[in-house]
């Protein structure tokens, strides 16, 4: 049976009749887990769509794939290894869980030692890394900022000196700890920045800049070669992918800045979502249902993008984080067995914060010709102590946008006509604490994985980023004559001989 065909040819209802036909639609299409309420009722999925997707999921072996993911199976086929980020949260093979615990003890030991002054008087932390080695820590630091951080921490990723210089101007080199986060310990941007920061420390009179470096990596031997003492290297397992690594020692700067307890809460929240993903039947499994929605809009309705709007400043970096998670994982055009993928892979993920985005990009969402499934996130407990109007205004705006997208409004003036029937999902968090945020991020990881299984692709490699790196290296090495005429001209214009 071709389940895709059944999904693609099934008649589709508009949203309003789905609500009219079933007074229990909201109850049936909403779920709760770990302090997060997920409302899928404003999507076009009905019981027939869900049933067909459940059959597809069964056919694709999703249940066994989840089992394999969470028990150390060799699920990253192209690189011949497991993907053990859930092991960091205590859900995985015995070896991965034990190993993660040992490495975390080591990380906590170093947090404590630094707190107790083992590296001198530290007030500032510069966390260098890029992609998964920066986006996760930066998201967590911004989201969980508690107002009385133990250290002032800057995450720097870009090779652009404009990202580095303002931090160096602000920080006191004598009280700065440099954290180098790189799974491979080879990434060009991170190491140029590391050189600039250590040079700055030396120029400022720090006697032993290398004594103030902590390395977070899956390649500890490379960190030793780079000159970092073994006692300040926090390894993590090679089987934890870069964009899934915030749970590992890559989270060191978060634990140091906000305290190890918050980090533990984060892991505990993620483990709750892992357990749900492992145990819940597909018709109750929240990441799986979210993936059904993603596939429905991308394959059946031809949506090429998905927009995420956080109605909470603290979650402002979530769209960036999700871009890497989803697009680096599922932006592929081959199946896990190397054959071509004959349908769209990951949608393009974009978004921003509400209410800002309402006054900038929502025009297209309400009246544009593209159909964009929208995801709203909001938090019931405010993150500030200002007047209640702020939070009421924020949340009610969020809910109003979902309602307006769905309802639309008819007008004889075509300029003022709103077609409506535009789908959205809303995630309403009770509070933004470590546990809820951990569960939220794990939800997105598992949704990405479920999407990959439905498509039949391997979400754990990223060969697509290599060619650009190679060509940048060739240009840096002066091999410009191998480039096309346009690229040569650009290079010569920027850097005349
Ligand atoms: O170039 C892509 C990538 O490899 C990402 O997958 C990764 O998160 C990022 O670069 C940083 O890599 P590393 O942690 O090895 O420095």
**b or e along 136-151 (b: 16 or more beta carbons within 10 Å of the residue's beta carbon)?**
bbbbbbebbeeeeebb
Average pLDDT, the chain: 96
What does the CA dihedral 217, 220, 225, 226 come to, rounded to 10 degrees? 20
The per-residue pLDDT for range 469-490, each reduced to its tens digit, is: 989 988 888 875 678 999 999 9
Of 252, 364, 356, the C-alpha closest to 309 is 356
Q: Tokens in use for 378?
A: 């909001």
- Cβ atoms within 10 Å of 349's Cβ, excluding its own: 21
127 is catalytic: no
Is 79 part of the annotated catalytic residue set? no
For ligand 1, the distance from its centroid to the CA atom of residue 440, given in whole angstroms, is 22
Q: What is the pLDDT of residue 146?
A: 74
pLDDT at 178 over 60: yes
Q: Whose CA is nearest to atom 5 of ligand 1?
A: 131
Residue 1: its pLDDT value, please? Answer: 63
Determine which one of 328, 332, 375, 445 is catalytic. 328
**How remote is the CA of residue 281 from the centroid of ligand 1, in Å?**
34
The more confident residue out of 479 and 75 is 75
Residue 190 alpha carbon, nearest atom of ligand 1: 16
Cα–Cα distance measured from residue 182 to residue 90, given in angstroms and rounded to the nearest whole number: 23
Report the separation in Å between the CA atom of 131 and the middle of ligand 1, taken as the mean of its atom positions: 5
Buried b / exposed e along 7-42 (16+ C-beta atoms within 10 A): beeeeeeebeebeeeeeebeeebbbebbbbebbbbb
Asked if pLDDT for residue 497 goes beyond 70, the answer is yes
Active-site residue flag, 359: yes
Residue 142 Cα to ligand 1 middle (Å): 21
Mean pLDDT of 229-235: 98
Entry pTM: 0.97
- Tell me, which fold does domain 86-264 have in CATH? Rossmann fold (3.40.50)
- The average pLDDT across 60-64 equals 97
Which two structure tokens, joined as six digits, stand for 424?
A: 């959205």
pLDDT at 83: 97
Across the beta sheet with 374-379, the strand order is 30-33, 36-39, 424-429, 374-379, 305-311, 348-353
Which residues are bridge partners to 176 per DSSP? Answer: 124
* Residue ranges of the chain that CATH labels 3.40.50.10490: 3-80+265-463, 86-264
- Which protein residue's CA is at the shortest distance from atom 1 of ligand 1? 465
E-assigned strand segments in 184-304: 213-217, 233-235
47-59 vs 62-69: helix crossing angle, rounded to 10: 60
What would the mean pLDDT of 109-116 be, rounded to a whole number? 97
Q: What is the band of 232 on the pLDDT scale with cuts at 50, 70, 90?
A: very high
User: Which residues lie with the beta carbon below 6 Å from any ligand 1 atom?
Assistant: 130-133, 182-184, 187, 190, 242-243, 328, 462, 465
Which CATH architecture is the domain 3-80+265-463 placed in?
3-Layer(aba) Sandwich (3.40)
Mean pLDDT confidence for 184-202:
98
């Amino acid at each position: 049976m071709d389940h895709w065909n059944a999904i693609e040819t099934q008649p589709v209802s508009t949203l309003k009749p789905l609500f009219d036909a079933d007074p229990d639609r909201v109850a049936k299409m909403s779920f709760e887990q770990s302090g997060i309420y997920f409302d899928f009722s404003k999507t076009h999925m009905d019981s027939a769509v869900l049933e067909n997707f459940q059959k597809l999921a069964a056919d694709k072996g999703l249940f066994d794939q989840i089992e394999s993911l969470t028990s150390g199976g060799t699920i990253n086929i192209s690189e011949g290894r497991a993907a053990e980020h859930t092991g960091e949260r205590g859900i995985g093979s015995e070896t991965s869980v034990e190993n993660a615990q040992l490495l975390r003890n080591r990380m906590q030991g170093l947090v404590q030692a630094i707190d107790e002054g083992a590296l001198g008087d530290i007030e500032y932390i510069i966390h260098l890394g890029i992609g998964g080695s920066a986006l996760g820590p930066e998201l967590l630091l911004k989201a969980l900022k508690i107002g009385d951080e133990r250290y002032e921490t800057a995450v720097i990723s870009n090779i652009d000196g404009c990202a580095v210089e303002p931090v160096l101007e602000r920080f006191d080199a004598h009280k700065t700890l440099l954290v180098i986060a790189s799974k491979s310990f080879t990434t060009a941007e991170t190491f140029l920045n590391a050189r600039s920061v250590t040079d700055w420390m030396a120029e400022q009179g720090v006697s032993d800049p290398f004594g103030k470096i902590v390395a977070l990596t899956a390649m500890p031997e490379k960190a030793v070669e780079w000159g970092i003492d073994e006692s300040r290297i926090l390894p993590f397992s090679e089987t934890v992918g870069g964009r899934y690594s915030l749970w590992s020692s890559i989270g060191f700067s978060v634990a140091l800045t906000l305290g190890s307890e918050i980090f533990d809460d984060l892991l505990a929240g993620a483990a709750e979502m892992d357990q749900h993903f492992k145990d819940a039947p597909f018709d109750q499994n929240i990441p799986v249902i979210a993936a059904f929605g993603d596939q429905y809009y991308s394959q059946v309705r031809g949506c090429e993008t998905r927009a995420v709007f956080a109605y909470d400043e603290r979650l402002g970096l979530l769209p960036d984080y999700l871009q890497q998670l989803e697009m680096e994982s599922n932006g592929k055009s081959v199946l896990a067995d190397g054959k071509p993928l004959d349908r769209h892979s990951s949608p393009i993920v974009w978004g921003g914060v509400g209410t800002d985005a309402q006054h900038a990009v929502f025009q297209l969402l309400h009246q544009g010709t593209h159909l964009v499934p929208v995801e709203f996130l909001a938090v019931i407990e405010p993150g500030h102590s200002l007047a209640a109007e702020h939070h009421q205004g924020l949340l009610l705006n969020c809910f109003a946008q979902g309602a307006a997208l769905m309802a639309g409004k008819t007008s004889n003036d075509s300029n003022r006509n709103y077609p409506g029937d535009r789908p959205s999902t809303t995630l309403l968090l009770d509070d933004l604490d470590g546990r809820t945020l951990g569960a939220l991020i794990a939800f997105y990881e598992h949704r990405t994985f479920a999407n990959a299984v439905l498509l039949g692709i391997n979400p754990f490699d990223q060969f697509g980023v290599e060619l650009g790196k190679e060509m940048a290296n060739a240009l840096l090495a002066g091999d410009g004559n191998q480039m096309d005429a346009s690229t040569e001209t650009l290079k010569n214009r920027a850097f005349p001989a």
